[in-house]
């Protein structure tokens, strides 16, 4: 049996890898993908596989990232603005650099004042995702069942939760929806940001960090930094930044990915070519991968919460859904923890990370939906599937019953094996 499970997982892993070998071509052709985690949610037509005969959905366990926002830190605006302003004072801006600065100064006043806040698009994303969830699984929400929603204490997450639950309530007025946001709730929706005395740490081995290529070396090898800098500055070597060139490119990349969430995407499209943007995506995709692979075991409390609440819902069946609203770093590390679609694969070469891990899959309003199914006969066990941004995801470590459907007992055993292998310190 173990050999069968291994072979099945291996076939799924190979399939997932083969699907992503053209990822750089896709990123070059699509600036929304090049934006990585700063990009807006993309609504796509996803054909869902019918449930096995005799099974019906009855419960959903969900985690959603907040929707589109202004940059999470004002440094995404001030770092670039300060460098451009200093270069102007030194007479070191090209004609393009002068144009860039003029547009930048006019643009940034409102975003800086609203740093971290949800934008209108973010509300719309969550309302529509709720509509799609209800449309896909109306039987789950029929009647006067309960829905529990828990948000991070971040304002953008609270507003995202409000938009989502309001949309759900409009479609199913009889639902009893309970919303909550408090600091102890961070133990679940953002474990590393829980109150100091409640932060849990788990035994984990950092995967051979000494042999990883350093980010600064990777950006020098992969990105046209000289071309990017030379487009803006007359003498790039005279540009000084406290964090160095790699840090400056990070702030530029973050800004370029973020501003289209609330402004005309064409406004600064001339700052980077499609090729340069794709290069920066690969570099900072690698940076995100290193963080999430390292931090994945800190998301065990979220996994425990999903297990516990699902088991309660299976027995009681008075809860339609448990909804959670949080952040990108939680979702990315959690998905790596479970290795959905091979996302948490340990990669030896920095160049190969992009084939497994793509940061644009953790875009604004990214969401996971664990959809649970019961047999009408009641004697064939609970099945479930995972939707990741509306697409059916694979769990390479498990053998599906059919298509994207897995046995809940198998997943529970898999999850508990992860928890047991990484005990709390």
More confident residue, 8 or 175: 175
Q: How confident is the model at residue 208 (pLDDT cuts 50, 70, 90)?
A: low
Q: How confident is the model at residue 258 (pLDDT cuts 50, 70, 90)?
A: very high
Q: Is the pLDDT of residue 342 over 80?
A: yes
Distance separating alpha carbons of residues 179 and 162, to the nearest angstrom: 8
Q: Is the pLDDT of residue 82 over 80?
A: yes
Q: Is the pLDDT of residue 17 over 70?
A: no
Mean pLDDT within 222-248: 93
Q: How confident is the model at residue 245 (pLDDT cuts 50, 70, 90)?
A: confident
Predicted pLDDT of residue 344: 94
Instruction: For residue 282, give the nearest of 350, 211, 366, 362 by alpha carbon.
Output: 350
Distance separating alpha carbons of residues 278 and 275, to the nearest angstrom: 5
Predicted pLDDT of residue 210: 61
The β-bridge partners of 147 are 177, 321
Exposed / middle / buried, residue 271 (Cβ in 10 Å: 0-12, 13-18, 19+): buried
Sort strands 367-375 and 55-65 into parallel, antiparallel or unpaired. Answer: antiparallel
CB 364 within 8 A of CB 125: yes
The domain 2-70+118-207+292-421: what is its CATH number? 3.40.50.1240
Predicted pLDDT of residue 212: 87
Q: Where in the chain is the domain with CATH 3.40.50.1240?
A: 2-70+118-207+292-421
Mean pLDDT within 179-201: 97
């Amino acid at each position: 049996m173990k050999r069968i499970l291994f072979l099945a997982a291996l076939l799924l892993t190979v399939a997932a890898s083969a699907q992503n070998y053209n990822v750089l071509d896709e990123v070059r052709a699509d600036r929304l993908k090049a934006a990585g985690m700063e990009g807006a949610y993309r609504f796509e037509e996803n054909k869902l596989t019918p449930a096995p005969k005799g099974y019906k959905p009855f419960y959903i366990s969900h985690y959603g990232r907040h929707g589109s926002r202004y940059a999470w830190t004002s440094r995404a605006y001030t770092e670039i603005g300060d460098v451009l302003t200093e270069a102007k004072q030194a007479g070191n801006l090209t004609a393009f650099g002068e144009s860039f600065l003029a547009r930048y100064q006019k643009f940034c006043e409102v975003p800086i004042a609203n740093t971290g806040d949800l934008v209108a698009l973010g509300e719309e994303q969550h309302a529509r995702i709720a509509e799609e969830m209800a449309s896909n699984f109306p039987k789950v929400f029929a009647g006067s069942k309960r829905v529990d929603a828990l948000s991070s204490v971040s304002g953008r997450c609270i507003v995202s939760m409000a938009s989502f639950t309001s949309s759900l309530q409009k479609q199913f007025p009889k639902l009893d929806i309970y919303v909550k946001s408090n600091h102890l709730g961070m133990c679940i929706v953002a474990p590393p940001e829980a109150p100091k005395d409640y932060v849990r740490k788990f035994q984990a081995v950092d995967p051979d960090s000494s042999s990883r290529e350093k980010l600064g070396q990777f950006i020098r090898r992969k990105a046209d930094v000289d071309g990017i800098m030379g487009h803006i500055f007359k003498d790039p070597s005279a540009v000084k930044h406290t964090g160095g060139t790699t840090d400056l490119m990070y702030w530029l990349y973050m800004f370029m990915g973020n501003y289209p969430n609330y402004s005309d995407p064409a406004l600064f499209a001339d700052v980077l070519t499609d090729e340069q943007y794709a290069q920066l995506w690969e570099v900072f995709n690698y940076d995100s991968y290193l963080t999430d692979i390292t931090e994945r075991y800190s998301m065990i409390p979220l996994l425990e919460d999903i297990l516990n609440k699902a088991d309660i819902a299976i027995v009681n069946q008075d809860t339609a859904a448990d909804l959670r609203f949080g952040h990108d770093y939680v979702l990315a590390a959690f998905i790596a923890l479970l290795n959905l679609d091979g996302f948490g694969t340990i990669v030896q070469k920095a160049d190969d990370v992009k084939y497994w891990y793509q940061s644009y899959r953790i875009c604004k309003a990214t969401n996971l939906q664990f959809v649970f199914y019961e047999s009408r006969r009641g004697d064939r066990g609970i099945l479930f599937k995972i939707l990741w941004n509306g697409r059916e995801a694979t769990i390479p470590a498990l053998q599906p019953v059919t298509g994207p459907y897995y046995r809940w007992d198998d997943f529970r055993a898999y999850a508990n094996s992860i928890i047991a292998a990484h005990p709390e310190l």
